[in-house]
Amino acid sequence: MIIGENSKVQNYALVYEPAKLAEGVFIGPAVVLTNDTYPRAINPDGTQKQGDDWEPVGVTIERGASIGAGATCVAPVAIGSWATVAAGAVVIKDVPAYAVVAGTPARQVGWVGEAGVPLIREIPPDRWACPVTGAKYLELHGVLTREKA
């Protein structure tokens, strides 16, 4: 398991190997990051599974992303930089950078800036702005990127 600098893992979180948390990641209370895509206790012949009977896969969380309390990320998924996973969400597919996802299964419900607050849509509609920092973002084909200052 890799936990980047300035990351915060709250009480009762279960972070299973080989999870990779980049710098500045927030893991809320009771979050679960799984490591087995197809879990089984036994093999098809009824014998108990051993360490060699499966290959652990991890959850990757990029810089500055936040995972809310009680959320579950089912490996293998990647959470993009600065993305936010809402409390209680169940993530079963990759989350783009700056996306906000919620629900079971998790679906994108908006965009969030690096300050952690929802972005405001500007005109033209493919432009977004952070109400806290003033940072500007461009959305193109479902991908949000921060514009250079």
Looking at the domain assignment, is residue 135 inside a domain? no
- Domains contained in the chain, number: 1
Looking at the domain assignment, is residue 65 inside a domain? yes
Looking at the domain assignment, is residue 27 inside a domain? yes
Q: In which domain, by residue range, is 80 found?
A: 2-41+56-116
The CATH number assigned to the domain holding 94 equals 2.160.10.10
The span from the CA of 64 to the CA of 59, in Å, is 15
The span from the CA of 121 to the CA of 124, in Å, is 8
Q: Are 92 and 72 in contact (CB under 8 A)?
A: no
The count of C-alpha atoms lying within 13 angstroms of the C-alpha of 26, restricted to the half-sphere facing its C-beta, is 17
Looking at the domain assignment, is residue 144 inside a domain? no
Residues 5-24 pLDDT 10s: 999 999 999 999 999 999 99
Residues 33-82 pLDDT 10s: 999 988 999 999 999 999 888 899 999 999 999 999 999 999 999 999 99
Indicate the pTM of the whole model.
0.94
Q: Dihedral through CA 107, CA 73, CA 104, CA 94, nearest 10?
A: 20
Looking at the domain assignment, is residue 90 inside a domain? yes
